Homo-oligomer: A and B are copies of this chain.
Amino acid sequence: MKALGRQLLVELYNCDFDRINDTKSVEKAMIDATEQSGATIVNSDFHEFSPYGISGVIVIAESHVSIHTWPEYNYAAVDVFTCGDHIDPWTIQEALKSYFKSDSVSSMEVKRGLFKTQPGQDLPFKADESSVLGGHSQGHSS
């Protein structure tokens, strides 16, 4: 069996309140961490909620990186969904752990899109050669 994608579900506990309570701080950390991993950023979209909490998603050519923060719990949930072999999603976890000063991290890696292959053979279509054709982003009034 071979997987089209891999996904890290990262739980960051005991984060620094201020660092996960500021949209600019969270967005900068996410973009820096994503760039460090070698991923290609297509679009970033961050939102702040009242009374607390930031939600942000970075669409990358290799899938996405998302974050939701609960500053009142000093907690952030990060997902790193990647395809292809050329980026290391764990660098994103380590960079965010450090930036948010989390001293308690747990994570799980999940394989996505499993297909049967012959032993030693790869999947018939390579996921690594895609390029962005286009797209659009649209805000919705609430």
Q: Which residues of A come within 8 Å of B, CB atoms? A: 4-5, 7, 9, 11, 23, 40-53, 55, 57, 59, 61, 63-64, 66, 68, 70, 72-73, 75, 77, 79, 81, 83, 108, 110, 112-115, 123, 125, 127, 130-140, 142
Shortest Cβ distance from A55 into B: residue: B59
15 contacts between A and B (CB under 8 A): A7-B9, A42-B139, A43-B47, A43-B140, A44-B140, A45-B45, A46-B136, A47-B132, A57-B66, A70-B127, A73-B123, A77-B81, A79-B79, A131-B142, A137-B137
Q: Is the CB of B40 within 8 A of A142?
A: yes
Which secondary structure characterizes the binding site on chain A?
Answer: strand
Partner of A125, one of B45, B73, B133: B73
Q: Is the CB of A49 within 8 A of B66?
A: no
Q: Is the CB of A66 within 8 A of B66?
A: yes
Q: Is the CB of A81 within 8 A of B81?
A: no
Which chain B residues border A49 with CB–CB below 8 Å? 61, 130-133
Which chain B residues border A48 with CB–CB below 8 Å? 132-135
* Given known contacts A4-B73, A49-B61, A142-B61, A11 and B113 CB-to-CB distance under 8 angstroms: yes
